[in-house]
Amino acid sequence: MFPVADALAPAATALFTVVLTEGPLSRVGLARRLDLSSAAVTKGARPLIEMGYLEELAATERSGPGAGRPASPLTIRADREFFVGVKITRDELIGVVCDLRAQVRTAVHRRLSETDVDHVLRQIAEITTELLDGSGDYRSRTRRLGLAISGDVDLATGRVRYSPFLQWHDVPLRELAEQATGLTVTVENDVKALTTAEHWFGEGVGADSFALVTVGAGIGCGLVVGGRLVSGSFGVAGEIGHISVDVKGIACHCGSRGCVEAIAGADAIVRQAREATDRPELTFDDAVALARAGDPGVSAVFARAGDAIGSGIAAVANLVGPSRIVVSGEGLSAYDLFEPHIRAGFQRQAFGAAADCPLSIRPLPFEEWARGAATVSIKALVASWRRPV
C-alpha cells in the first residue's frame, strides 16, 4: 500500500484536480492553466509524484519555441487507489470499483428484497466484499466507498434526511455504512453524484456551467455554476422534479400539486396510463408499447409528461443560464415519446435567448450512477488533502 497523503498546499490539490480531469498536461501547460509559476507547479507536483498519485510520461514535444528539453507531461497513476461506488434504488444495488480516473474496473448488481435500513446495509456490506475480494486485488488499495441515493441528502454529515422511494427519514447512512464496511464513506444525492461524474469526467469537463436533468422514477437536476456543483444552503438546489407546473394538478408525494415528478415520473406515468386504459395491471413497458402503437389515451400521458419536463428544464435555463443542458436517466428508453413534447415545453417556457441553450441526450445505464458515487468519493479524497487556511 502506498503512503497516505498528508495535508497539501492549495496549489498541489488544484494541480492534481486539473491533471485528473483534463490531463495529461505539461508543467508549462499547468502553470498557464492555474496562473502559477513553474516553480510552484514543480513544488506542488513533487509530493504527489512521491506518493504515487502522479507520474511523468516520456518527454514529447518541446514546451515552446526556442525551449530547451522536451516537456514531460504529468498524468494520473490510475491504479494508485481504487474506489467503490454503490447506487441504491428501491429494488436493486448497483456496485462498481473504479480507478482514480473513475474508469469502471468491475461491476455487480444485487436485488433488494426489502428496503428497511438494516437489510440495505447488510447488502451494501456484502456487495462491497464481493467487489473487493473478487479478481483484481482491489481491497489492498481501496479505502473509500461512495453511496448514491435519491432524495434529500446532507453531504457534510452523510445523513439521508428523506428518500421518498425507500421511505427513509433521518438515517445516518454514512456512520452506519462505515461500521458495516470498515471503509471511509461519502453519501450523496444520486443526481448530484452523477452530475459530479459528468463534470469531472464526462460532458461537463471544462464547462463553467451546465445542467444535468434525469428522467426516470423521479425527475432530478444537478447544476454546475461557476465551475462548482450547486447544493444550496439546504442541500436541495436543483430539485426541478418539485417545481409545480399545474397548481391544480396531480398530488405529489412532497405535499404539493402538479409537480413535474407527479406528472412525469415513471410511477406517475404508469398510474395515469392505467387510468386511461382501465387496466390496473399495466406496467411502464406496457404503456410505452401502447403509446408507440398509437393508443390516444396513453400517448396523451406521455405528451403531458414531456411538456412538464420541458417546462421544468426551461425554468433551469431561465434561472441559471447554463451553457448546455444534458438530459439523461433510465426513462430515456421512451425518449422518442417524450422528445417533441419536451422540446415544445422548453421552447414555450424558456425566456428570450435561454431558448437557444442546447439540449443533448445522453442515455446512461445504472452503472454510470454507481460510477458517480465512486467519483464523489474521489472528490472527497482530494478535499481531505486540503491544508486548512
Q: Mind listing the domains of the chain with CATH numbers?
A: 10-79 (1.10.10.10), 81-195+368-384 (3.30.420.40), 205-361 (3.30.420.40)
**What's residue 2's pLDDT?**
46
Q: Residue 61: pLDDT above 80?
A: no
In the structure grid, which three cell numbers stand for residue 148, read together? 448514491
Average pLDDT along the chain: 88
- Rounded to an integer, what distance in angstroms lies between the CA atom of residue 26 and that of residue 19? 9
Pairing of strands 184-189, 142-149: parallel
pLDDT in tens, 218-240: 888 899 988 888 877 766 677 78
Distance CA 97, CA 140 (A): 13
The residue assigned the cell 496562473 is 35
290-293 contacts: CB < 8 A, separation 24 or more?
Answer: 291/334, 291/337, 292/336, 292/337
Interacting residues of 4 by C-beta distance below 8 A, sequence separation 6+: none
pTM of the shown model:
0.86
Q: What order do you get walking across the sheet with 210-215 strand by strand?
A: 228-229, 219-225, 210-215, 325-328, 359-361
In tens, the pLDDT along 324-345 reads 888 887 766 788 888 889 989 9
- Tens of pLDDT, residue by residue over 246-270, are 888 888 888 889 899 999 988 999 9
pLDDT at 319 over 50: yes
Kindly state the cell numbers that stand for 56.
Answer: 511523468
Per-residue pLDDT tens digits for 87-129: 999 899 999 999 999 999 999 999 999 999 999 999 999 999 9
C-alpha cell at 17: 484536480
pLDDT band at 63 (very low <50, low <70, confident <90, very high): very low
Joined together, the cell numbers standing for residue 95 give: 456496485
Of 55, 141, 53, which Cα lies nearest the Cα of 97? 141
